[in-house]
Amino acid sequence: MTANRICSLFGIRYPLVQAGMVWCSPWQLAAAVSNAGGLGVIGAASMHPATLAAHLRKCREATDRPFGVNLPLLYPDIAAQIAVILSADVPVVFTSAGTPAAHTARFKAAGRTVVHVVSSARFARKAEAAGVDAVVAEGFEAGGHNGREETTTLCLVPQVVRSVSLPVLAAGGIATGRAMLAAMALGAEGVQIGSRFVASLESSAHPDFKARVVAAGEGDTRLMLKRLTPVRLLRNKFSAAVEAAESAGAGEAQLRDLLGRGRAKKGMFEGELDEGELEIGQVAAQIDQVLPAAGIVAEIMAEFRETLETLRDPGFTRFLA
């Protein structure tokens, strides 16, 4: 068996990527994760081009290790953001929420490693055909925008692994070393972790949102707004209004009106917990404290190692004898 392809591809120690999340992933978080041996990723979606340029520059100053940037392909400012990314020293570009066909070649020509986030094996094959270097297979339990098939990480990862020859990162529902090992048993060669890093010291999430994530229990998130773009949110006053509108048969236009503009910023960055959109994964129920990002990486890798020792113990598989 050769070394892990994700570690080789990114030039990192641990096959653990911190998701580049809207409103939560500034240079401080990305640099801390990269310095801890994972791959830190800046979330471009919530940044004006000049802000993005500053974050990329500061991240480069704060770490000599590889790091990445996440660029959703569905926003209007994308040309300016692409120009910023191409002129910055950021080796890995994650694209999501759109088709990679139009942009992958340009990033590849500029020497960048390109990874696309997918919610189905069908999209994974398209991403492979577009020339990406790896895919993130993100399941139904993940926070934020999500696929229409509602395929869970446990079902999605094996489907994607058997459909492409690229290395696959698993995402959605992963916040611990046990879940990281489970994902790798399914054939993923690494993981992308989002929610857990929302609740990090270096995250730019509002402290009240971090506290709400820590307080979240089972059943506290729901995949919503399926008539627009499905998004997993913490339940709050806003989400209750969405559910009421939906069960009264509200159409797309009404839901867009209800959503309005800037709700993600309001909720996640400004801490308006009642009226904002609070994007987080189901795994929030397992997140019990806010830690420094380096501590999160260390804790996950320690649990990964311990769990692996358990599986390697001959007692574990006495039933195979």
For residue 186 the two structure tokens come to: 């399914």
Looking at the Cβ atoms of 47 and 117, the one nearer to its own copies is 117
- Tell me: does residue 35 bind its own copies (CB under 8 A): no
User: Which of 132, 182, 224, 245 lies at the binding interface for its own copies (CB under 8 A)?
Assistant: 182
Among left, alpha and beta (phi > 0; psi -120 to 50; other), residue 44 is alpha
Task: Please provide the size of the chain in residues.
Answer: 321
Q: How far is the CB of 104 from its own copies (least distance, A)?
A: 23
Residue 262, classed as helix, strand or coil, is: coil
- Contact in structure between 176 and 298 (CB atoms under 8 Å): no
Name residue 68's beta-bridge partners.
41, 92
- Write out the binding residues for its own copies, residues 125-164 only, by CB under 8 A: 139-141, 148-156, 158-159
User: Which of 19, 32, 136, 174 lies at the binding interface for its own copies (CB under 8 A)?
Assistant: 174
Name residue 78's beta-bridge partners.
none
Q: How far is the CB of 148 from its own copies (least distance, A)?
A: 7
Looking at the Cβ atoms of 88 and 155, the one nearer to its own copies is 155
User: Which of 10, 23, 27, 304 lies at the binding interface for its own copies (CB under 8 A)?
Assistant: 304
Looking at the Cβ atoms of 261 and 312, the one nearer to its own copies is 312
User: Which of 76, 248, 253, 261 lies at the binding interface for its own copies (CB under 8 A)?
Assistant: 248
User: Which of 70, 120, 192, 203 lies at the binding interface for its own copies (CB under 8 A)?
Assistant: 120
CA atoms within a 13 Å half-sphere pointing along the CA-CB vector of 47:
27
Cα separation, 133 vs 91, whole angstroms: 12
Determine the size of the site formed for its own copies (CB under 8 A): 65
- Tell me: does residue 184 bind its own copies (CB under 8 A): yes
- Contact in structure between 41 and 113 (CB atoms under 8 Å): no
- Tell me: does residue 192 bind its own copies (CB under 8 A): no
Count CB neighbours of 106 within 10 A. Answer: 14
- Contact in structure between 195 and 18 (CB atoms under 8 Å): no
Which residue reads 């395929």 in tokens?
151
Q: Could you list the residues that contact its own copies (CB under 8 A)?
A: 1-4, 7, 13-15, 120-122, 139-141, 148-156, 158-159, 172-174, 176, 178-179, 181-187, 218-219, 222-223, 247-249, 281-283, 285-286, 301, 304-305, 307-308, 310-313, 315-320
